[in-house]
Amino acid sequence: MADDNSKEAFARLTPDHMLDAIESVGLQCDGRFLALNSYENRVYQVGIEESPPLVAKFYRPGRWTDEAIIEEHDFTYALAELEIPVIPPDRDRMGVSLHHHGPHRFALYPCRGGRPPELDNPQHLEQLGRFIARIHAEGATKSFQHRPLLDIDSFAVRPRQFLLDNNFIPAHLDEAYRTLTADLITQVQSCFERAGEINLIRLHGDCHPGNILWTDDGPHIVDFDDARMGPAIQDLWMFLSGDRSYMTARLADLLEGYTQFYDFNPMELYLIEALRTMRLIHYAAWLARRWDDPAFPLAFPWFNTMEYWESQVVILREQAHLMSEPALVWD
């Protein structure tokens, strides 16, 4: 669950405290605050006198070290210097992007708008593939030193254990969930073994349609908060859903653009359903860990209900079936 420092710090993050924090870096706020849909951190659109509004991200205490946050920022600066359309945080006159005010750490970003990509539009997917490939080409030039690896232990084994140890699973589903997820983790391990040796690169890490803002000039990507080392397919598979034929067609569109800028290892296709399974387990545990943060029950009222856990068992059983099927084919 969210640690006491997180709860206490966010409880003190009142509009007055946010105003003081932002003005501590030399800006003058006009008093307008709009909460954006972010819960891991607290993110607000903030009005600035005689300037366009900014987006202020206040980081959850205890999740990332300063070094890890700065490494994320530096990654986005490197991408922006290559004219890849990402949105790095603003730097102050001293070149600082991560600011401290009392118990709070925060960064300020330009405010950008956009719409979700059209995932049934081949041109959008091809353009998106080119965009992600350019991120990966830079991501492959060196490794993160302070950010984690996307692996089975941190995205499946430990999240599963947290849910079981903290009695989130209803009693009548406990044995089914316990057995099913243990078997799923074995299947996930088999998928990784079939994929063989995979190149690990710096990733966006949470590359789903909600983090893509589409404009008339094309896409740009936001929220590198989950950036980590992992296989390239992690930044591609969340754009693939539906039946097998539909996903195969969408994959072809994505990789048509992707391979113009970066090579793709087709062995990573063995990881698609394994990564989807890991995300399902990890996401449930993420909500559970944060459940004593008052923002979470308000934002996710459907979580931790009987219906939720019953549906999770059904979805995870379907994942067991999907991981037993042949990998998608890319011609």
pLDDT in tens, 273-303: 999 999 999 999 999 999 999 889 999 999 9
Mean pLDDT of 8-35: 88
The pLDDT score that the predictor gives to residue 11 is: 77
Catalytically annotated residue among 4, 66, 120, 223:
223
pLDDT in tens, 225-251: 999 999 999 999 999 999 999 999 999
Catalytically annotated residue among 206, 225, 253, 293:
206
The pLDDT score that the predictor gives to residue 4 is: 47
The pLDDT score that the predictor gives to residue 39 is: 85
Question: Residue 7 above 70 pLDDT?
Answer: no
Question: Residue 38 above 90 pLDDT?
Answer: no
CA distances from 39 to 43, 233, 256, 331 (A): 8, 26, 35, 40
The amino acid at 270: Y
Q: List 181's β-bridge partners, or say none.
A: none
Cβ contacts of 308 within 8 Å, gap of 6 or more = 302
Q: Has 206 been annotated as catalytic?
A: yes
Mean pLDDT of 6-27: 85
Q: Has 183 been annotated as catalytic?
A: no
Give the span between the Cα atoms of 303 and 113, in whole angstroms: 29
Here the tokens at position 202 are: 């710096």
* Nearest alpha carbon to residue 177 among 306, 287, 313: 313
The pLDDT score that the predictor gives to residue 1 is: 39
CA distances from 184 to 147, 197, 249, 272 (A): 26, 21, 27, 14
Question: Residue 23 above 50 pLDDT?
Answer: yes
The amino acid at 264: F
Here the tokens at position 262 are: 């970066």
Q: 276: how many CB neighbours lie within 10 A of its CB? A: 18
Mean pLDDT of 18-36: 92
Q: Do the Cβ atoms of 135 and 204 come closer than 8 Å?
A: yes
- Collapsing DSSP to helix, strand or coil, 177 comes out as helix
Q: What is the CA radius of gyration of the chain?
A: 21
* Nearest alpha carbon to residue 318 among 233, 244, 230: 244
Question: Residue 2 above 50 pLDDT?
Answer: no
User: Rounded to two decimals, what is the model's pTM?
Assistant: 0.95
Q: What is the mean pLDDT of the chain?
A: 94
Mean pLDDT of 213-226: 92
31 class by beta-carbon count within 10 Å (0-12 exposed, 13-18 middle, 19+ buried): exposed
The percentage of residues in the chain with a pLDDT greater than 90, rounded to a whole number, is: 88
50: alpha, beta or left? (left if phi > 0; alpha if psi -120 to 50): left
CA angle 140, 323, 132 (to 5 degrees): 25
The percentage of residues in the chain with a pLDDT greater than 70, rounded to a whole number, is: 97
Q: Do the Cβ atoms of 219 and 212 come closer than 8 Å?
A: yes
The pLDDT score that the predictor gives to residue 15 is: 86
Q: What is the DSSP letter of 38?
A: -
Give the span between the Cα atoms of 246 and 120, in whole angstroms: 9
The pLDDT score that the predictor gives to residue 217 is: 85
The pLDDT score that the predictor gives to residue 37 is: 79
Q: List 191's β-bridge partners, or say none.
A: none
Instruction: Please report the domains of the chain, with CATH numbers, ordered by start residue.
Output: 4-110 (3.30.200.20), 122-324 (1.10.510.10)
How many helices (DSSP H) and strands (DSSP E) are in the chain? Answer: 11, 9
Question: Residue 98 above 90 pLDDT?
Answer: yes
Give the ranges where the chain is alpha helix by DSSP (H).
4-11, 15-23, 66-81, 122-139, 152, 158-165, 171-195, 244-258, 272-289, 295-299, 306-324
Q: 161: how many CB neighbours lie within 10 A of its CB? A: 13
